[in-house]
Structure 1
Amino acid sequence: MSENRRAEVDAALADVDFEKFNYQVVFETTKGTIKMDLYPDVAPGHCKNIIGLTKIGFYDGIIFHRVIPDFVVQVGCPQGSGTGGPGYTIDAEFNNLPHETGILSMARTNDPNSAGSQFFICLGRVPHLDNQYTVFGKTSDAESEAVVLSIGDVETNHSDRPLEDVKITGSEVIVTEK
């Protein structure tokens, strides 16, 4: 079991206010910068979770462990295997937003309330994920979407793991007034 990071995440969320501010998470990767707009109106718990994890540096150094062309790129496992997380889970917040190119959604096990730190970004329209996984953001601009798509083009092995590591080298939360 992964170390429980809940107390650190909760402390990092002390000043988060979705009424007054807009939030973006920015991931610097070995393929370029990915800026993500968050959707707290439909998934506030998931937005708080990724903001908190980003603020404590949880994602820094983590690899994209799963890349499936025309489907998703997945990241957020501290072990790089797809089996780890932050030591806690959050409840699902299913909504009606479609899984399409650039959509940020939370990975989980068969248990709908098992999400932790692993997320995926869609590489195209994936209707069978709709209302099954929590959509909570989207790439902020064409440049970010292009970086995600370039990650989706990397060569992988039979387990969908990139042959050369694609990493998040740094991350930050950008806060702007509404």
Structure 2
Amino acid sequence: MASSRDRQRKLARAKFDRQLARRAERERRRRRIWAGVGTATALVLVIAGGAWIGGAFDSDEPTETTAGDVCLWTPQNATANTDLKEVGTPPTKDLPETGTETMTVTTNRGAPIVASLDVASAPCAAASFTYLAGKAFFDNTDCHEITAEGALRCGDPSGTGNGGPTYSFYDENVPAAPAPAPSASAAPADTVLYPAGTVAMIGNPPGSNSSQFLLFFKDFKPAEPKYSIVGQVTSGLETLTAISKIPTVENSAGDKVKPKEKITIQSLTVGAAASAAPSASAQS
């Protein structure tokens, strides 16, 4: 399971890389200065150069006076992938890192699906949901797959499996792998890593998450963990169960996962407004 410590290590590494780049540039400047000066001015330059190398004249990023980044958003190229939608990026600082948020997914299929987002364990996924919901990113989009793993796949306005916003973020809160079998001949451990009702992120490629997510309507027991968990359905599981019975046909990739009937997200909200979302009547 990814922890706050894991996130801080990644952020610290990125900061360290930036510091190394600045130090290398200062060293190059120092060498240029010393190459062009004579002996008579060496003493003056030792004093000034020491201050310069030490960063006295650089506008270095503050280390103690400003809040650190909670999340890093990796830009994605919308020119290379025309299925991406430009909506900007969420903030990186002052994001919630504790508690939960309520997410309500109102579809054209029965009662709304309400989930509790685990902000403490997946703050970046929760922040992304909140940001995109505020942009109405998910509204009037279709859930394009009912997967063989037992989940409804949503969050891609293009419906291709390649779409999303023009940013991505790393995995969080990935469940631990099942314990190995006692012997090579024994059957693998029968461990439910994604119980029915789990809300998980799905990236393309794996580990590169953005807006696409899974709503599991049955227990999933993979040999290895595959997805970041962001929350749990608290009501509306019966809606997911009903959706799971919709027949599927082949998609453009030849996988029999495309719903034969439309499953449309009419609205997706996060926060206080979610609890007031109206129920949608079931439609065929």
TM-score (norm 2): 0.54
CA drift of 1:40 comes to: 1.3
Question: Which of the pair has more CA radius of gyration?
Answer: 2
Q: Which amino acid counterpart does residue 261 of structure 2 have in structure 1?
A: E
Give deviations 1:8-58, integer Å, cap 9, x for gaps.
Answer: x43xx9886354x64111111000311110111211111111111112110
Verify: 1:28 aligned to 2:106, yes or no: yes
Equivalent position of 2:174 in the other structure: 95
Letter in 1 for 2:200: S
Match of 1:83 in 2: 162
Structure 1 or 2: more helix by fraction:
2
RMSD of Structure 2 on Structure 1 (CA): 2.4
2:257 aligned with 1:160: yes
Q: Which has the higher contact order (CA 8 A, sep 6+)?
A: 1
Letter in 1 for 2:270: V
Contact residue 150 and residue 220 of structure 2 kept, 8 A? yes
Match of 2:268 in 1: 171
The CA distance in 2 between the partners of 1:129 and 1:35, in whole Å, is 29
Distance 1:175 1:22, change over 3 A: farther
Instruction: Tell me the distance in 2 between the aligned counterparts of 1:122 and 1:73.
Output: 6
- Between the aligned residues of both structures, percent identity stands at 20
The one-letter code matched in structure 2 to 1:105 is A
- In structure 2, the partner of 1:104 is 199
Give runs of aligned pairs for residues 1-178 of structure 1, distance below 5 A.
Answer: 1=81, 2-7=84-89, 9-10=90-91, 17-19=96-98, 22-32=100-110, 33-68=112-147, 71-96=150-175, 98-112=193-207, 114-128=208-222, 131-141=225-235, 144-158=236-250, 159-175=256-272
Residue type at the aligned position of 1:153? K
Alpha-carbon contact 1:94-1:132 (below 8 Å) kept = no
How many residues were matched structurally?
169
Q: Show structure 1 runs of 5+ residues with no match.
A: none
- Deviating above 4 A after TM superposition, structure 1's stretches of 4 or more consecutive aligned residues are 13-16
Q: How much does 1:3 deviate?
A: 2.8
- Residues in 2 aligned to 1:118 and 1:34: alpha-carbon distance in whole angstroms: 16
Contact 1:68 1:152 in 2 (8 A): no
